[in-house]
Structure 1
Amino acid sequence: MPEPYAEQVAEWSDLAERTEAMAMQRMMLHQSPETIELLGVSAPDLADGVHTVVVRDPMWGYWNKALGFCSPVDETTVAEAVARARDQRVPAFAIQVQPRAVPDGWSAIVERHQLTEGTMFVKCFGGAEPRDVETDLRIGRLGPEDATSFTHVLCVGFGLEETEEAHALFDGPQYFDGDWAAYGAYDGDRLVAAARMLVVPETDAVSLFGAATLPEGRNRGAQGALLDARIREARDRGIRFASAETWLEAPDNPNPSQHNMRRAGLTEVHTRPNWVWRNPDVG
């Protein structure tokens, strides 16, 4: 790898980590006081990253993460995250450490704190450009009046139970305005796919996440078109970069999202696993 390109990827790795961590933190801190109380939400800084906590997470613990690290993660940082999760009786959480932030002796830290290696994710970042995407669906920007339908699509698309807690986490009108935006794909008047974005001015990037599709909307170009719509809005706002992540595909487990991100011009800057801690005191 040429040295200038290697330096750029290293810089983008850090920007990708910071963008996601800030997006996760703002997703937590922008919740209403009622939702914070209902779900047990908090998002303190942790070393140079963030630790997001949703004690009663309707998404299987997805939002319980320590991430965004650009400097080596020392044992004190891991111990602080584990202690917080234990004190708040979180069933489990994941520490995500990019390769450049893995410290010497990481395997010993993992063993001492009883972390297990879980799903591998790929971080994607770069100066994505709008492109023409073929779809027979109508793409439109969503507003607060679409919040219930948005959450329905997320729940069905991800296989979640559509509960009061899920709607509390995702329905907030604040997530359709300002630095936040959401887009949907329609089959006639029916919303069949949706995706969310957050502009992160500190990294000059848009964080792309929350993408899901109903079964009847799949294999119709919905997510490629929603990816393009969000990149276009980011460009219109003067944002240089786009940031996203998805699980790393394998020969026997293809991932269309990873291909969509490549086609949009994003660079796969690094992979990193979930290092999962499970609370022995919570059944």
Structure 2
Amino acid sequence: MPRLREGADMEASPEWSDLAECTEAVALRRMMTDQPAEVGALLGISAAPLADGVHTVVVRDPMWGYWNKALGFCETLTDETVAEAVGRARTEGVAVFALQVQPRALPDDWDALVAGHGLTEGTMFVKCFGPAGPRAVETDLRIERLGPEHAEEFTDVMATGFGFEAGPEAHALFDGPHFFDGDWASYGAYDGDRLVGVARMLAVEETGSVALFGAATLPAARGRGAQAALLDVRIREARDRGLRFASAETWLESPGNPNPSQHNMRRAGLTEVHTRPNWVWRAED
């Protein structure tokens, strides 16, 4: 597991790209392996090493297969590794999964490799990483750290924000009390007594970083600074825990499709270290 070397340049580099990948791989694995056994059985959750990365499976994923993915690769990917991932997806019976690979881990014959395994290029994401620091943010919402008693509300906001059903599977995946304690922390933005925005973090000691994810805001509360404030409060907690760096991901904006999250991350001091698309595999049936 890479860590930043003493004296390393404080700017975007292949080392930062690797740290971002490894931080996300740890967070994704922990999201699966920290689940109670009954949740794992209910949803068909597993996480397996794949080369130097991780491959996670949620057979009954309430988010349309979003959590079926393989990532965290710092070494050049091989045909055998891709074949292993596709084979596991078939064996587990998932309908779809995504392979995410940073540019410098792509082999020279990548185009032929993905064609041979039936992968198609999907949404482009941007990895953000760096020594993010606290900053002044403006919002009229109240920001609070959440406890397990807020779990159902947290998932309801996530579901509305991302557009998936807040059914039993979603609550099983996101409600666990472990997400509110220990290495995990969850935060909320309140309009009066109503929870209108949420976000989650994991302290990743292996890379000296905080993994920032699980951020959503109710449509009626957007544009009021909820996510900027939730980003800042998580960075402050990470600094209090002694973590130097922050890692996050969002979809890459385009001229006709702006992404406020990408701008929030830049303003927080994160650097866009690389982009990577979803390479999507779908079951034939």
TM-score, normalised with respect to structure 2:
0.96
Partner of 2:238: 234
Q: What's the secondary structure of 1:43's corresponding residue? A: strand
Partner of 1:20: 24
Q: What's the secondary structure of 1:34's corresponding residue? A: helix
**What is the Cα-based RMSD across aligned positions, in Å?**
1.1
Partner of 2:5: none
Q: CA deviation at 1:104?
A: 1.4
Partner of 1:177: 181
Residues 1:91 and 2:91 are matched in the alignment = no
Write out aligned runs for 1:25-174 (5 A). 25-174=29-178
Q: Letter of the aligned partner of 2:227 in structure 1? A: Q
Partner of 1:274: 278
Aligned-partner Cα distance in 2 for 1:240–1:7: 13
Q: CA deviation at 1:217?
A: 1.4
Q: Letter of the aligned partner of 1:137 in structure 2? A: L
Q: What's the secondary structure of 1:73's corresponding residue? A: coil
Distance of aligned partners of 1:203 and 1:187 in 2 relative to their CA distance in 1, 3 Å threshold? same
Aligned-partner Cα distance in 2 for 1:58–1:187: 27
Q: What's the secondary structure of 1:203's corresponding residue? A: coil
Partner of 1:218: 222
Q: What's the secondary structure of 1:121's corresponding residue? A: strand
Q: Letter of the aligned partner of 1:33 in structure 2? A: A
Q: Letter of the aligned partner of 2:231 in structure 1? A: L
Aligned-partner Cα distance in 2 for 1:65–1:6: 30
Q: Deviations over 1:69-101 (max 9, x none)?
A: 000000000000000000111001000000010
Aligned-partner Cα distance in 1 for 2:12–2:200: 27
Aligned-partner Cα distance in 2 for 1:85–1:254: 33
Q: CA deviation at 1:9?
A: 1.5
Aligned-partner Cα distance in 2 for 1:256–1:244: 14
Aligned-partner Cα distance in 2 for 1:214–1:194: 9
Q: What's the secondary structure of 2:206's corresponding residue? A: helix
Q: Deviations over 1:97-152 (max 9, x none)?
A: 00010011011101100100000000000000000100000000000000000000
Aligned partners of 2:159 and 2:166 also within 8 Å: yes
Aligned-partner Cα distance in 1 for 2:203–2:216: 20
* Partner of residue 257 from structure 1, selected from 244, 261, 265: 261
Q: Letter of the aligned partner of 1:244 in structure 2? A: A
Q: Letter of the aligned partner of 1:104 in structure 2? A: D
Q: CA deviation at 1:215?
A: 1.5
Q: Letter of the aligned partner of 1:181 in structure 2? A: A
Q: CA deviation at 1:7?
A: 8.0
Q: CA deviation at 1:8?
A: 4.8
Aligned partners of 2:12 and 2:273 also within 8 Å: no
Aligned partners of 2:12 and 2:271 also within 8 Å: no
Aligned-partner Cα distance in 1 for 2:222–2:103: 34
Q: Deviations over 1:53-75 (max 9, x none)?
A: 00110011110000000000000
Distance of aligned partners of 1:6 and 1:177 in 2 relative to their CA distance in 1, 3 Å threshold? closer
What is the aligned length? 278
Q: Which runs of 5+ in 2 are unaligned?
A: 1-7
Write out aligned runs for 1:166-205 (5 A). 166-205=170-209
TM-score, normalised with respect to structure 1:
0.97
Q: Which runs of 5+ in 1 are unaligned?
A: none
Identity %: 73
